[in-house]
Structure 1
Amino acid sequence: MTDSDTLPGHSHVFLGEGHAANQKRTWAVIALCAVMMIGEIVGGLLFGSIALVADGLHMSTHAGALLLAALAYSFASRHATDRRFTFGTGKLGDLAGFSSAIVLAMIALLIGYEAVSRLFAPVPIQFYEAIPIACFGLIVNIASVWLLSGSHDHHHGHRHNHRHGHDDHHAHDEEHRLTCGSGTMALSIFEDGVPPRFRVRIEGTNEPRQMTVETVRSDGTRQLFQIADKGAYLESIEDIPEPHAFEALVRYSDSTGQQQSRATFAEHGHAEQGTHRDNNMRAAVIHVMADAAVSVLVIVGLLLARTFGWLWMDPLAGIVGACVIASWSYGLLCDTGAILLDMVPDTATERGIRQTIETDGDRLQDLHLWRLGPGHLGAIVVVATREPRGPAFYREQLSRFRSLSHVTVEVQQLQSIR
């Protein structure tokens, strides 16, 4: 027997929380770049500066890349409720980010090729014209970064390993400060890249000699955890099973005798960095940061070349800049490509779903987890159970995972063994 369920008529709008604000910021930076581009080209033609014209044309490619991000925001908003998009338009930003990463990679190759060519065949440099232009370009890039800085998701293109770091921990991961003799102790659940365990930090001179933590769940289930000294902190020997919703009784002995404190932990689901990251805004920021990084390297190279006559410093700065851009492009390609291919975006949530379903003896037959948009995950869950439970029961269990925006539950009823 198979039973399945989804929420009828629920929204398929899976855009990030800062979608509209990020769209406005991107258009503002485009306007700034367009003004500079026109000013440089017109000024270069009026004053006969080919370097100024060249930098203006370079700025046009910069504005074009940002235009791709802005159009992606606009299209995603306009078609967010279009039924032709089965899972909404939340992934459009990732598609734009992937495209921008390819453009960045091409720019890195072109800069690298030109720099290597000039390394073996140096060309005359007009220092007193090139340096002010590079400085002016850096100022514009700094202004662009400032305009985009209202977004909470600018990581400068560095790739993050989602298995070893979290951006948003559980809501219960804040420290619970408890009285401990003449001082205090900070009790928390630590699970950054390791199985979840209690961690205790002591503040004060009257440190506990022995300690245990006992969890009491809403159904009355109790579990005792032994605490071991790890030097800088105390940590439970046993792992904490999901869900992390319980009352924790901390018992310890010190010079004043036996003591007991308690803290309440509430489970609100997992949320990793990759779940909430806006890769469209990230791509826009990388373009600006890449241009700023190249400007800094060019200024340094030109100053050293003019001061010491090291003409090779200018192409060397170009090679370094190309490597930096290529590195950022690679990270963006990997992260956006993984999303477009529906790879599991959040291993912590995947593990949490499995532990939540299988806590009461049910078996998770199949699980598909993918990203629908910034801060939104979709899941298809197939559960085998011997209990008379329907999809609504498991939907309620999974409701604590705040990032799960679209959930399909299928229940396979197994025959009970008497």
Structure 2
Amino acid sequence: MSNWKDAGFGAGHNHVFLGEAHEQNERKTWMVIALCSAMMVAEIAGGSLFGSLALIADGLHMSTHAGAMLIAALAYTYARKHATDSRFVFGTGKLGDLAGFTSAVVLAMIALLIAYEAVLRFFSPVPIHFGEAIPIAVVGLLVNLASVWLLSGDHHGHSHGHGHGHSDAHGHADTHSHEDEVKRILAHTGGFELSIYEDGVPPVFRVTPEAGTQPLSADAVSVTTVRPDGSRQTFSFVDRGGYLESIQQVPEPHAFRTIVRLPGEEHSVDFVEHDHEAHAGTVRDHNMRAAYVHVMADAAVSVLAIIGLVLARAFGWNWMDPLAGVVGALVIANWSYGLIRDTGAILLDMNRDGRMTVRVRQIIEGAGDRVLDLHVWRVGPGHLSAIISVVTNSERRPDYYRSALAHIEGLSHLTVEVNPSSNK
């Protein structure tokens, strides 16, 4: 048997690894730029017309705000226009992470400048024109809140958690959180739920009658799984009091067609498994996250500035203004560090969450093969790539492994090398 090597599967083979909300996020970012630019022009023009240095200064600050958004917007536009450019070996999905990293560095520099200015004002206080400074800070906060609203969305990642209640043999209620693993069967005698139960126990099938449906006898029910490679397995059941449970465990992966045999009838049900434990970083759009963090940081600084100015005006605590600047700098620096850490790891192809790697290894080795080498890394929001080297005693080819792994959500690009076992 010779070595076999193959790459890709599904739509992911075209190397377009952009996030699902890419175009929507692109539009949002350009809208924020338009808002900030309009505010910038109004403040600079108003400051020049009325001789307000504070207005001009805030207008210039707003220009840096728009500039940071421009990094994100241009990254979205460029990634979309060059998504099919063959020069980008793994697509342009990571361009957003590069933009996010750049924005994070800019945020860190802003934090240092704010801290530097605040420290100078501690030692060399300057007169504060409260009548101008407070209204400008309020207007700046409103603009930032509008920007936060425009950018709000699902850039923090997705969370899946749809519970299905079942009772165990002792009558205790358990929650099953796999939304795609509970199927309803409408039989002649009533409705039943077919589920794969695996909370704290090895996975098993359960057949639960709906309210008002007469329970079935265990020996009158069977379930046969038909996997993508054509292999079949039949499961028999035992009565657990209130529901039937399969005697045999359900092997991974839980992606197959089931033939459910009930008295006098037969039903076909498909199970499609998703990786619900995937880390949020797999689907997070770090470009949008960077834009969001920037406006949140600006809003936080505005809030702190308003508090500091109000207290300074009310009680004469002029030191509250630079203190608010120091606190704001620390908040921005913390957000910047988190963004640099996460985007830097992606740019260096670091696999910070090994659960996907473990998942792939379990599926391959659960079929009797051995994983010789395995690399998993992110190529875009919601898109992972994997390179796998497998040692097998069988005559399996790469398409077998692509089929076995095709159900894993987010695994968009796969390269498989199959090696014959030396023990064969």
Q: Is the 8 A contact 1:275 1:374 kept in 2?
A: yes
Q: 2:165 aligns with which of 135, 159, 177?
A: 177
Structure-2 change in CA distance of 1:221 and 1:380 (3 Å) = farther
Structure-2 change in CA distance of 1:409 and 1:182 (3 Å) = closer
AA matched with 2:6: D
Give the whole-Å Cα distance in 2 for the aligned partners of 1:182 and 1:385.
43
What's the CA shift for 1:346? 3.8
Give the whole-Å Cα distance in 1 for the aligned partners of 2:281 and 2:39.
34
Give the whole-Å Cα distance in 1 for the aligned partners of 2:224 and 2:119.
65
Q: 1:332 aligns with which of 316, 331, 339?
A: 339
Give the whole-Å Cα distance in 1 for the aligned partners of 2:328 and 2:224.
55
AA matched with 1:357: I
Query: Partner residue of 1:233?
Result: none
Q: Is the 8 A contact 2:164 2:177 kept in 1?
A: no
Give the whole-Å Cα distance in 2 for the aligned partners of 1:368 and 1:179.
40
Deviations, residues 342-365 of structure 1 (Å, cap 9, x unaligned): 011542211100111110221111
Give the whole-Å Cα distance in 2 for the aligned partners of 1:132 and 1:26.
26
Structure-2 change in CA distance of 1:56 and 1:189 (3 Å) = closer
- Please show how residues 149-228 of structure 1 align to structure 2 within 5 Å: 149=152, 151-153=153-155, 155=156, 167-169=158-160, 174-178=162-166, 185-188=173-176, 198-199=199-200, 218=225, 219-220=232-233
Matched, 1:148 2:128: no
Matched, 1:85 2:91: no
Structure-2 change in CA distance of 1:246 and 1:70 (3 Å) = closer
Q: Normalized against structure 2, the TM-score is what?
A: 0.77
What's the CA shift for 1:222? 7.6
Give the whole-Å Cα distance in 2 for the aligned partners of 1:316 and 1:197.
53
Q: Is the 8 A contact 2:167 2:174 kept in 1?
A: no
Q: 1:126 aligns with which of 126, 129, 145?
A: 129
Give the whole-Å Cα distance in 2 for the aligned partners of 1:51 and 1:16.
40
Matched, 1:377 2:379: no
Structure-2 change in CA distance of 1:31 and 1:4 (3 Å) = same
Deviations, residues 228-279 of structure 1 (Å, cap 9, x unaligned): xxxxxxxxxxx997435699xxxxxxxxxxxxxxxx9752235321111111
Q: 2:31 aligns with which of 24, 28, 53?
A: 28
Matched, 1:268 2:271: no
Query: Partner residue of 1:251?
Result: none
Deviations, residues 377-405 of structure 1 (Å, cap 9, x unaligned): 11101100111111111111110112111
- Please show how residues 35-50 of structure 1 align to structure 2 within 5 Å: 35-50=38-53
What's the CA shift for 1:20? 0.6
- Tell me the secondary structure at the aligned position of residue 369 of structure 1: strand
Matched, 1:103 2:103: no
Q: 1:67 aligns with which of 70, 82, 100?
A: 70
Deviations, residues 110-167 of structure 1 (Å, cap 9, x unaligned): 0001111111221111111100000000000011111112x311x5xxxxxxxxxx94
Give the whole-Å Cα distance in 1 for the aligned partners of 2:234 and 2:393.
21
- Tell me the secondary structure at the aligned position of residue 317 of structure 2: coil
Matched, 1:285 2:292: yes
Q: Is the 8 A contact 1:367 1:381 kept in 2?
A: yes
Query: Partner residue of 2:264?
Result: none
Give the whole-Å Cα distance in 2 for the aligned partners of 1:187 and 1:136.
48
Deviations, residues 290-345 of structure 1 (Å, cap 9, x unaligned): 10000000000000000011111000000000000000000000000000000115
Give the whole-Å Cα distance in 1 for the aligned partners of 2:391 and 2:383.
26
- Tell me the secondary structure at the aligned position of residue 417 of structure 2: strand
AA matched with 2:7: T
- Tell me the secondary structure at the aligned position of residue 317 of structure 1: helix
Q: Is the 8 A contact 1:241 1:355 kept in 2?
A: no
AA matched with 2:315: F
Give the whole-Å Cα distance in 1 for the aligned partners of 2:162 and 2:91.
34
Structure-2 change in CA distance of 1:152 and 1:268 (3 Å) = same
Deviations, residues 56-93 of structure 1 (Å, cap 9, x unaligned): 00000000000111000110011111111111101100
- Tell me the secondary structure at the aligned position of residue 400 of structure 1: coil
Query: Partner residue of 1:2?
Result: 3
- Tell me the secondary structure at the aligned position of residue 198 of structure 1: coil
AA matched with 2:273: E
Give the whole-Å Cα distance in 1 for the aligned partners of 2:236 and 2:375.
31
Matched, 1:243 2:231: no
Give the whole-Å Cα distance in 2 for the aligned partners of 1:139 and 1:128.
18
- Tell me the secondary structure at the aligned position of residue 43 of structure 2: helix
Give the whole-Å Cα distance in 2 for the aligned partners of 1:223 and 1:68.
59
Q: Is the 8 A contact 2:8 2:412 kept in 1?
A: no
Kindly, what percent of the aligned residue pairs are identical? 61
What's the CA shift for 1:185? 2.4
AA matched with 1:147: L
Structure-2 change in CA distance of 1:346 and 1:242 (3 Å) = farther
AA matched with 1:152: D
Give the whole-Å Cα distance in 2 for the aligned partners of 1:372 and 1:100.
19
Structure-2 change in CA distance of 1:144 and 1:305 (3 Å) = same
Q: Which runs of 5+ in 2 are unaligned?
A: 179-196, 202-222, 226-231, 238-248, 258-269
Query: Partner residue of 1:315?
Result: 322
What's the CA shift for 1:416? 4.4
AA matched with 1:188: H
Matched, 1:137 2:140: yes
